Structure formats: structure tokens, C-alpha cells
Amino acid sequence: MTDSELTLAQRAIGDFAPKLVELTDDVLFGDVWARSELPRRDRSLITVASLVTSGSTEQLVGHLRIAKQNGLTETELKEAIIHLAFYAGWPKAMSAIQLAKRVFAEDEIEGGPS
């Protein structure tokens, strides 16, 4: 299997924690994210909000990109982070918005989703 055929979880930790990769790929993304009861766009907004409120900035990078792929705009994502400043705390929102700024700028440079 080539590197491009591996999932993000497989590339990140596959050789170190294969069971966590299996649960991530099969249960989280293969089942929970695939459920039709909630659109992927909404799941992305919920996930981004959860990552911001918990201060999980490492995972936020990828989920900001996924959120854009799932139909959320940069404006909507920025507005969600601004809104969360009052619920999650100013430092978490400031960290998240700076990260979003960097991720969105990188996406523009790489020709990714806008």
C-alpha cells in the first residue's frame, strides 16, 4: 500500500497504535460520520466547536480543512470561533482563530479549498 492510499490516521500513528487507527477509520469515520441523521456539514461544525472548546488545536487543523470540504465557509468557521470565545474562553478562541488564519492561508497557497 502506498503512502497516498493510507488514511490520515494510518499515516500518523498506524505503526504505533493500530487499534486506535482501526477505531478511528472504521467506527468514527466509517460509521458515526457516515450516519445520515445529521449532515456532514453539521457534524463538521460540531466537531470544530468541540475541538475549540477543548483546546485541541492539533486536531483542529485537519478538521478545519474537512469542514471546508463539507461546505462550511471560512467566514462561517471564523464566526463560530468568535461566538465560542464567549463560551469556551478567550485564550482558546484566540489560539483557534490564529490557527485558522494559518490553515486558510496555507490552503490558498496550495490551491486547496477556499
User: pLDDT tens, 11-43?
Assistant: 999 999 999 999 999 999 999 999 999 999 999
Domain with CATH 1.20.1290.10 in the chain: 39-114
Neighbouring residues of 23: CB distance < 8 A, sequence distance ≥ 6 = none
Task: Decide if pLDDT at 9 tops 70.
Answer: yes
Q: What local confidence, expressed as pLDDT, does residue 111 receive? A: 67
Single-letter residue type at 83: H
User: pLDDT tens, 40-77?
Assistant: 999 999 999 999 999 999 999 999 999 999 999 999 99
Say yes or no: domain 39-114 is CATH 1.20.1290.10: yes
Rounded-to-integer distance, Cα 23 and Cα 45, Å: 22
Task: Decide if pLDDT at 113 tops 60.
Answer: no
For helices 74-88 and 90-110, what crossing angle results, to 10°?
A: 160
User: What predicted TM-score, i.e. pTM, was given to this entire model?
Assistant: 0.87
Q: Where are the alpha helices (DSSP H) in 6-112?
A: 8-13, 18-22, 40-54, 57-69, 74-88, 90-110
Mean pLDDT of 81-105: 97
